[in-house]
Amino acid sequence: MQAQTIPDEIAKGLQDAEMPMDELLSVLEAVDLAAGETLFECGDEARGAFFVHSGRLAVHRKTGFGNRTQVVALLDAGTPVGEGGLLSGQKRSATVRAVSSTRLSFLSTDNFSLLCQKYPLFGLQVQRWILKCLSLRLLASTERLVRIM
């Protein structure tokens, strides 16, 4: 994993916490998906979060009409995926598939907890970034809902 693949907000968290980049890179796992490949399914156990470096992912949710699903979000480089697993350990709430060839990194909940204990400012910065991303997603969802009402 190369330093330039770390989202800016996480890199800032490293600087603020005086945490060496190598320490984070040593616990990130590289994940490569081909177009159409599933990252995780709704209901899967969550062991951490992913960060998109390149490519595009589609987030699918069941509609309640049989087995039909609807794409509710498209995620591009620089965004977290499955962040609920990092913060709360909850089960996956959606199915996520690659729209195109996608490169991600995975940070396990256990490794995140260890880094937060050693570098609390890093943990705070990552949590702020995740909250910012969630807030923007909620705003976009609300705007879509208003348009269809």
What is the block-wise mean pLDDT of the chain (149 residues), using blocks of 10 residues? 58 70 88 98 94 94 86 89 85 96 94 92 84 83 81
What gap in Å lies between CA 16 and CA 7, rounded to an integer? Answer: 14
Structure tokens at 124: 């705070």
Q: Indicate the pTM of the whole model.
A: 0.83
CB 98 within 8 A of CB 36: yes
Q: For position 5, what pLDDT does the model report? A: 60
pLDDT at 89: 77
Contact by Cβ (8 Å): 105, 1: yes
List the one residue out of 107, 94, 90, 102 whose CA is nearest residue 137.
94
pLDDT of residue 38: 98
pLDDT at 3: 42
User: pLDDT tens digits, residue range 24-36?
Assistant: 889 999 999 999 9
CATH number 3.40.50.300 given to 3-148: no
